[in-house]
Structure 1
Amino acid sequence: MKEKSSVTIFVDDELKPVAELQTPVQFELDTTRLTDGQHTLRIVSRDPSGKEGIRIIPFEVRNGPAIAIEGIKENAVVDGKVPIMVNAYGKGDQKNFLIIGSETPQSIPFWIFLILIGFVAWAAYYLITSAAIPLDK
């Protein structure tokens, strides 16, 4: 029987591997045990002759509650008092979605007001010019 290659899977800089498996393999990474933020998946492979290969895959975990912020952007230059709205909500799990609190209220964009003002001005113009046309009987 032909020997198979093996893979050893590490997360971040841990010395203890998450798994040591024979290839081909399907592996399920449980990110619920990781903190939110940047991580790396390091896969070390060994073929039957003893040669090694390595692959490093950076990824980001975001299991915690989602955080939505309105009123300030990253690396913004601000002065004075800045009104900021913060909303945080959980996503539930892969079986249940939490709808309560998952919508973040947002202010109305200024271009909506411009469209509304333009429509009202056009409607007023249309009504005035339509009323000014004499109707012959």
Structure 2
Amino acid sequence: MGKHNAVVFLYIDEESNPIAELQTPVVFNLDTTKLTDGEHTLKIVSKFGNKEGLKTVRFIVRNGPIIHLEGLTDEETVNGVLPLMLNAYDTGKNQSFIIKGSENPRTIPVWIWIIALVFAAWGVFYLVSNFSLQ
């Protein structure tokens, strides 16, 4: 062990064997592709002489495809038949799209329909009131 540096041991979740033993300072690349999707804990134990330090960091891994659901929200009270729109797609971090969000179609929000109907109704009212035959 170096005179001025600490040694750190990295543990994932409740594993008894460290995934790495490193001399500080160091840059370490944590490969989350080897972990299951969901919650995990990174435990860092540092040793410097006869002193020991501990830091834990909780994080969530989501390497799998992203799932998008429209028509049902978490803990919503429902009845009858529900039309659901489902889509699953990769995060596409290595790709760039010209049209952002094109991989995930969505329904038109209700407020846009309301604005369109109000505008159309005003247009019909304008035409009828200004061009009516007398």
TM-score, length-normalised on structure 1?
A: 0.83
Give per-residue Cα distances to partners, 1:47-98, cap 9 Å, x unaligned. Answer: 1x31111111000000001111111111111112112221111234x53469
What is the CA–CA distance in structure 2 between the aligned matches of 1:20 and 1:68, rounded to whole Å?
39
Report the RMSD for the aligned CA atoms in angstroms.
Answer: 2.4
Rg comparison, structure with higher value: 1
Corresponding letter in the other structure for 2:94: K
State the aligned residue count.
130
Return closer, same or farther for 1:98/1:91 CA change in 2, 3 Å cut-off: farther
Q: Secondary structure at the match of 2:87?
A: strand
- Rounded to whole Å, the distance in 2 between the matches of 1:43 and 1:98 is 38
Q: Tell me the secondary structure at the aligned position of residue 43 of structure 2.
A: strand
Letter in 2 for 1:95: N
Residue 95 (1) aligns with residue 91 (2): no
Task: Tell me how far apart the structure 1 counterparts of residues 37 and 24 of structure 2 sit (CA, whole Å).
Answer: 30
Pair 1:30–1:51, CA change in 2 (3 A): same
Q: Kindly indicate whether the alpha-carbon contact (under 8 Å) linking 1:68 and 1:87 is maintained by their aligned counterparts in 2.
A: yes
Identity of aligned residues (%): 48
Mapping of 1:1-137 within 5 angstroms?
Answer: 2-47=3-48, 49-92=49-92, 94-96=93-95, 103-131=103-131
Structure 1 unmatched ranges of 5 or more: 133-137
For 2:37, the aligned partner's letter is D
Contact 1:8 1:19 in 2 (8 A): yes
Can you give the 5+ residue segments of structure 2 that lack an aligned partner in the other structure? none
Query: Match for 2:13: what amino acid?
Result: D
Secondary structure of residue in 2 paired with 1:105: coil
TM-score (norm 2): 0.84
Q: Which moved more, 1:123-132 or 1:33-42?
A: 123-132
Partner of 2:57: helix, strand, or coil? strand
Q: Which amino acid is 1:68 matched to?
A: H
The code of the aligned residue for 1:55 comes to: K
